Amino acid sequence: MMNYNKHLLGLSILSMCFPVLSEALPEGATKIPSTPEIPNRLSIEYFSPDQIFEFKKLDHYSEPKWLTDNYVKTGKLPPVEQRLPEAPMVMKTASMPDGVGVYGGVLRQVTGGRPQGWNWSAAHSQGWGGINYIVQQCLTRTGPMYQLKTDQLQVLPNLAQSWEWSKDGKTLTMHLLKGAKWSDGVPFTSEDVRFYWEDTVLEPRVPSFSSQNALGDGAKLTIIDEYTIRWSFNKPFQNQALYNMAFMTFCPGPAHVLKPLHPKYNNQATFEDFSNALPANEVPTVTMGPWVPVSYKEDQIILLRRNPYYWKVDEKGNQLPYMDEVRYKLSTWESRTLETMSGSADFSNMENPPIYIETLRKLAASNSPTRAMFGPRNLAFQIQMNMNPTLSVRDDREAAIRQLNRKLKFRKAISHAIDRKSLGQALVKGPFTAEYAGGLHPETAFYRQSDVVYYPYNPRLSKQYLAELGLVDSDGNGVVNFPDDINHGDDLEIVFNSGNGTADSVFNDNLVSMMADIGIKLIPRLLDSVQGDSARDAGDFDWRLNRSDKELIVPMQRMEWLAPIAQSGPVWHRGTANNPQVLQPFEQKMVTLAHEIFAERDNKKQADLIGELNHEMTKNVYHVGLVAYPGALLVNKRIRNVPNAPITAYQWAEDAVMRERFWVPKQQQLKGLKPHTVPEYE
């Protein structure tokens, strides 16, 4: 049997023979070249799910001594055994790299994002970089799945501690963790789940990270009792449901806090008020996570302290987390890596190729404070060309661009205009980058070279295609013109949304000149992280530069990136009630394939269907692949219980490594900014 997870991490060469597609390649297309493996890649230790955690009542529980002294003895908090669920989640010693830990210390993190607020039920981000992963706890968990043995691969429980499918596969009954409490002591129950689903996901006036069909075809929820819920679907075995109940699509917010702010329960409130509720400066916020944001200073810091109601313990009964404080410096993504290299921060996904050489040099020093784990080429960049004919369209030019983006010949012309080898070397010299045709990332589980159709560098063919589309330089200024009856025959100018980091500027410089070579004027529009995300979510772009990660590694969990199964995606063909998606025949075909993939229970057949989907995606240049590249996880050597992990697989490393188990030996612990305190609510 193939080791699914090994392949996910790109650690071995596929030994099975897959059917080679017999269909002839389209004009100009080739097979994608293979690339040499990255040397010294990380090795992963594999476990069964019950070696990672189990739900179990223990005889005895404990907590940091200061917590008992300052809060329990003074009557501010009930004793620890009353704060924990009936049977808490027990994190097992077997899978801890350094075993049971000691309490105390500070984890110093950095993010390039900024918190929009704490109302994630209304699609607020808390600033990425792993803060979202702390405050949003979900029914299931996928991050640590990268460590599961192949034959025991399953979506992991979290706030839903177990579930079962009915015989006909059309209903899924889930049991919630009994007696778990929010950080303010209020019980977590099925009412939190119901409110999240009915009043935020299904409520069209509330923006949401999720949608009904993304969860499973025709998903409906019934509340059985306080701790039991039941899903029913139109189609059997909607396996993607369990993936989509993990981060970031099924993490209920606190109903007791949110209901009074929601118009259905409060006739003074509006939907706009609700969406803007819980701004970033309203702390402490209420969460099920291991740490709770207790202070926020704009563009400076988010400080988090341990949650005294957290529902996990180790095998000795010590309530988790071990570390008392987490600090998030609000800075840039690049400084996250540079600070972690120099030892002033503890954790970074190294993902910005232009700084790789410098960080490698620093890592080589014998006194480097940082441990680095190199992964496979599981990150990639692509150009997303907006295919919704009307969404956020303001003028004739934008409307004309959308029509062009919808033409396969145009997308092929763009793909043939890109010299990916030069682009890769401009990003970082050496063996890191690989030519990428779009679709699933190379060196990951479901990727098969034989599925991919590649339209490589061939500017002559690009120009021919543009001419065939009627795009010729009629005024002799070097830029092709629209035909006279479209957009006033103006020059073909395309606005290109990107971020403002160094990788973005490398892409901008190179793509501007590659497009100029075929007569297209590319105009970069530099946006910060928050602006970029909101332009993306509003469908407000001609083209945008995108850095993809987990969504193009494990298709089951973000199928809308591969096929438009719901209005919510893909990002480049999003639809709304007023500006719906207008699907083309190849997109319809991809939607059909996606539904076959969901329902297929045989692993091998499912892998073949995914291969077929990837074939359609690349053959139709659904997005324009640029380069694929590896990342590395950097962690300060002071931190214990850090397993080897790729920076992204099922989720980002921040979820995969289980920070609630991190600990630091006493003599190496840093002093907290708010020592010996837990969040206090009015």
CA pair distance 531, 542, nearest whole angstrom:
15
Closest alpha carbon to 608 in 169, 16, 148, 155: 16
Q: Say which residues have a Cβ less than 8 Å from residue 10's Cβ, sequence separation at least 6.
A: 37, 41, 375, 376, 377, 378, 442, 443, 444
- Measured from the CB atom, the residue of 5 and 529 that comes closer to ligand BQZ is 529
For the CB of residue 353, give the shortest distance to ligand BQZ in the complex, in Å.
13
CA pair distance 581, 570, nearest whole angstrom:
10
Identify the burial level of 24 via C-beta atoms within 10 angstroms of its C-beta, where 0-12 means exposed, 13-18 middle and 19 or more buried: exposed
- Measured from the CB atom, the residue of 349 and 557 that comes closer to ligand BQZ is 349
- Measured from the CB atom, the residue of 351 and 443 that comes closer to ligand BQZ is 351
For the CB of residue 361, give the shortest distance to ligand BQZ in the complex, in Å.
22
User: DSSP H helical segments within 103-223, as ranges?
Assistant: 131-135, 190-194, 212-215
- Measured from the CB atom, the residue of 239 and 546 that comes closer to ligand BQZ is 546
CA pair distance 247, 139, nearest whole angstrom:
9
For the CB of residue 610, give the shortest distance to ligand BQZ in the complex, in Å.
22
Residue 238 binds ligand BQZ (CB under 6 A): no
First to last CA, the chain: 56
- Measured from the CB atom, the residue of 49 and 289 that comes closer to ligand BQZ is 289
Site for ligand BQZ in 383-422 (CB under 6 A): none
- Measured from the CB atom, the residue of 85 and 129 that comes closer to ligand BQZ is 129
For the CB of residue 549, give the shortest distance to ligand BQZ in the complex, in Å.
6
CA distances, 447 to each of 39, 383, 387, 436, 560 (Å): 20, 20, 25, 12, 17
Residue 132 binds ligand BQZ (CB under 6 A): yes
CA pair distance 258, 251, nearest whole angstrom:
14
Selected range binding ligand BQZ among 68-76, 127-135, 152-160, 489-497, rule: CB under 6 A: 127-135
For the CB of residue 208, give the shortest distance to ligand BQZ in the complex, in Å.
15
Residue 309 binds ligand BQZ (CB under 6 A): no
Selected range binding ligand BQZ among 10-18, 38-46, 124-132, 602-610, rule: CB under 6 A: 124-132
For the CB of residue 171, give the shortest distance to ligand BQZ in the complex, in Å.
32
Residue 231 binds ligand BQZ (CB under 6 A): no
- Measured from the CB atom, the residue of 359 and 529 that comes closer to ligand BQZ is 529
Closest alpha carbon to 247 in 328, 340, 351, 130: 130
- Measured from the CB atom, the residue of 318 and 337 that comes closer to ligand BQZ is 337
Q: Applying CB under 6 A, which of residues 55, 209, 250, 333 lies at the interface with ligand BQZ?
A: 333
The token pair at 10 is: 């790109």
Q: Say which residues have a Cβ less than 8 Å from residue 441's Cβ, sequence separation at least 6.
A: 377, 378, 379, 380, 447, 548, 552, 553, 628
CA 598 centroid distance within chain = 20
Looking only at the bridges linking them, the beta strands covering 312-314 and 89-91 are parallel
Selected range binding ligand BQZ among 78-86, 129-137, 214-222, 637-645, rule: CB under 6 A: 129-137
Residue 128 binds ligand BQZ (CB under 6 A): yes
Peptide bond into 385 cis (omega under 30): no
Closest alpha carbon to 9 in 654, 507, 631: 631
Selected range binding ligand BQZ among 84-92, 128-136, 312-320, 353-361, rule: CB under 6 A: 128-136
Q: Applying CB under 6 A, which of residues 63, 199, 351, 616 lies at the interface with ligand BQZ?
A: 351
Site for ligand BQZ in 623-682 (CB under 6 A): 652, 654
- Measured from the CB atom, the residue of 351 and 587 that comes closer to ligand BQZ is 351
User: Cβ(231)–Cβ(160) under 8 Å?
Assistant: no
The token pair at 312 is: 């996990």
Q: Which residue has its beta carbon closest to ligand BQZ?
A: 128
Q: Residues in contact with ligand BQZ, total (CB under 6 A)?
A: 12
Q: Applying CB under 6 A, which of residues 129, 424, 442, 569 lies at the interface with ligand BQZ?
A: 129
Q: Say which residues have a Cβ less than 8 Å from residue 532's Cβ, sequence separation at least 6.
A: 497, 498, 499, 544
Closest alpha carbon to 575 in 586, 585, 566: 566
- Measured from the CB atom, the residue of 548 and 669 that comes closer to ligand BQZ is 548
- Measured from the CB atom, the residue of 120 and 231 that comes closer to ligand BQZ is 120
The token pair at 121 is: 């039920």
Q: Applying CB under 6 A, which of residues 244, 349, 382, 510 lies at the interface with ligand BQZ?
A: 349
For the CB of residue 347, give the shortest distance to ligand BQZ in the complex, in Å.
9
One-letter amino acid for residue 283 of the chain? V
- Measured from the CB atom, the residue of 208 and 529 that comes closer to ligand BQZ is 529
- Measured from the CB atom, the residue of 130 and 438 that comes closer to ligand BQZ is 130
Residue 529 binds ligand BQZ (CB under 6 A): yes
Please tell me whether residue 226 adopts helix, strand or coil conformation: coil
User: Cβ(590)–Cβ(563) under 8 Å?
Assistant: yes
CA pair distance 230, 438, nearest whole angstrom:
38
Q: Applying CB under 6 A, which of residues 85, 104, 105, 130 lies at the interface with ligand BQZ?
A: 130
Selected range binding ligand BQZ among 18-26, 122-130, 190-198, 289-297, rule: CB under 6 A: 122-130
For the CB of residue 461, give the shortest distance to ligand BQZ in the complex, in Å.
34
Closest alpha carbon to 415 in 18, 131, 28: 28
One-letter amino acid for residue 550 of the chain? K
Binding mask 439-468 for ligand BQZ (x = CB under 6 A): ------------------------------
- Measured from the CB atom, the residue of 128 and 507 that comes closer to ligand BQZ is 128
Residue 347 binds ligand BQZ (CB under 6 A): no
User: Cβ(244)–Cβ(651) under 8 Å?
Assistant: no
For the CB of residue 499, give the shortest distance to ligand BQZ in the complex, in Å.
8
User: Cβ(505)–Cβ(478) under 8 Å?
Assistant: no
- Measured from the CB atom, the residue of 266 and 534 that comes closer to ligand BQZ is 534
Residue 307 binds ligand BQZ (CB under 6 A): no
Question: How many residues in total does the chain contain?
Answer: 682
CA pair distance 71, 73, nearest whole angstrom:
6
For the CB of residue 152, give the shortest distance to ligand BQZ in the complex, in Å.
26
CA pair distance 391, 480, nearest whole angstrom:
25
User: Cβ(282)–Cβ(630) under 8 Å?
Assistant: no
Q: Applying CB under 6 A, which of residues 217, 533, 596, 600 lies at the interface with ligand BQZ?
A: 533
- Measured from the CB atom, the residue of 50 and 537 that comes closer to ligand BQZ is 537
The token pair at 331 is: 């800075």
Site for ligand BQZ in 570-629 (CB under 6 A): none
Q: What residues line the site for ligand BQZ (CB under 6 A)?
A: 113, 128-130, 132, 333, 349, 351, 529, 533, 652, 654
